[in-house]
Amino acid sequence: MVVDRRASTWSHARFSDLGDYLVPGDCLVLNDTRVIPARLIGRRLTGGRAEALLLRPLPGGSWEALCRPASRLRPGTVIDFDAEGRGRLTGEVTARGPEGICHLRLAHQGPLEAVLDAVGHVPLPPYIQRADVPVDRERYQTVYARNPGAVAAPTAGLHFTEEMLTSLASHGIVVARLTLHVGLGTFRPVAVERIEDHVMHAEDFVLPEEAAEAVNAAKARGNRAVAVGTTCARVLETCAQPDGLVVPQSGSTRLFITPGYEFRCVDCLLTNFHLPRSTLLMLVFAMTGVELGQRAYAEAVARRYRFYSYGDAMLIM
C-alpha cells in the first residue's frame, strides 16, 4: 500500500514497484542490525526450567534480559543454558526488576558470539508457534544484516533482495546504513490507558558519519530521507537537529513517537502493518495522522493485507 499524505489517499502496488515512487538522489536508510540467537533455555542449578531473552549488554559483562519464571529467579540464582550439560554458558541473576526484567551475569567458554551460536535459539515472534530451526538463522534476517545484537528483525527490510538494492542504486537511489539493535522497546505492547505513561525501553544505536553525510546531502539538494522501518525512523529522529539534519553519534534511545510528533528528518517511511496498542502503530499514525491512518488500515484489512513480521508493506510518502 502506498499512502499519499498530502492527498490523503492511497493506492496499491507490489513491493518490486518501490523504485517507481523514489527519485534519483533520494536516500534510502537501512538498519543493518543482525538478529542473534538470544533466546536461552536452561535449568536452574537448584532445579526447574528457566528461560532468558537477552535484550542488551550492560557494563561489566552482564546483560539485561527478559526472564521467566521471573518469580523464581531471585538474585544469586544460577542457570545453566547448555542443553548438553557441558557448561558452555551459565547466567547468574544479579538483579531483578519489574515485568520479568533481570540482570544476568554471563559466564561462557570462548567468545560469547560463538557460544550463543552453539546453545542459543532464534527469538522468533510469539505468533510463530513452533520451535526455531536452523534455516531461521538466515530467513529471519535482512539480506544486509551485518552487526549482531538484535532480538527481533527490522522486518520492513525483509522484503529486499540484493538484486533489488543493486537496481535501486543503479537508478541513483542513495543507500545509507545505520544500526539499531531491536529490543524489548520495539515490540512490547502499550498496556497503559494514557500513552504518555508508557515507558519505552532503551535500544542501542549507531548512526555512522558516512550515513549521516548521505542523509544530510540528500536533504540539502531537496531529496528525501526514506526510513526503512520504524527503527530507522527512531534513530534518525533521535539524531535530528531542528533544521532536519542529523548528527552522527552512538548511544541508546528511548524516543517514543506518537501522534502529534513533528518529524524533523524522516520524509517517507516504509514499514509493515502493525497491531493495535503497539508503539509501532503509534509511530505510523504520527506520520499519517490518525484519521488517514485509520482509514488506510481499514482498507488494508478489507483487502486482506498480511500483518506481522512476514507480512506486506506500506510506503508512507
**Which fold does the domain 2-35+138-316 belong to in CATH?**
QueA-like (3.40.1780)
The pLDDT of residue 188:
64
Q: What is the spatial distance between Cα 284 and Cα 86, in angstroms, rounded to a whole number? A: 46
Find where cell 522486518 sits: 155
The pLDDT of residue 312:
96
Specify the CATH number of the domain 39-121.
2.40.10.240
- Mean pLDDT of each 10-residue bin along the chain, 317 residues long: 97 97 98 96 91 90 90 91 86 89 92 92 86 90 96 94 97 98 71 62 92 98 97 97 97 92 97 88 95 97 92 96
The pLDDT of residue 175:
98
Cell of 12: 496499491
Positive/negative CA dihedral, 147, 151, 152, 154: negative
Would you give the distance in Å from CA 28 to the centre of its chain?
A: 17
Helix (H) or strand (E) holding 9: strand 9-11
Q: What is the spatial distance between Cα 67 and Cα 44, in angstroms, rounded to a whole number? A: 12
pTM over cut 0.85: yes
The pLDDT of residue 199:
64
All structural domains of the chain with their residue ranges? 2-35+138-316, 39-121
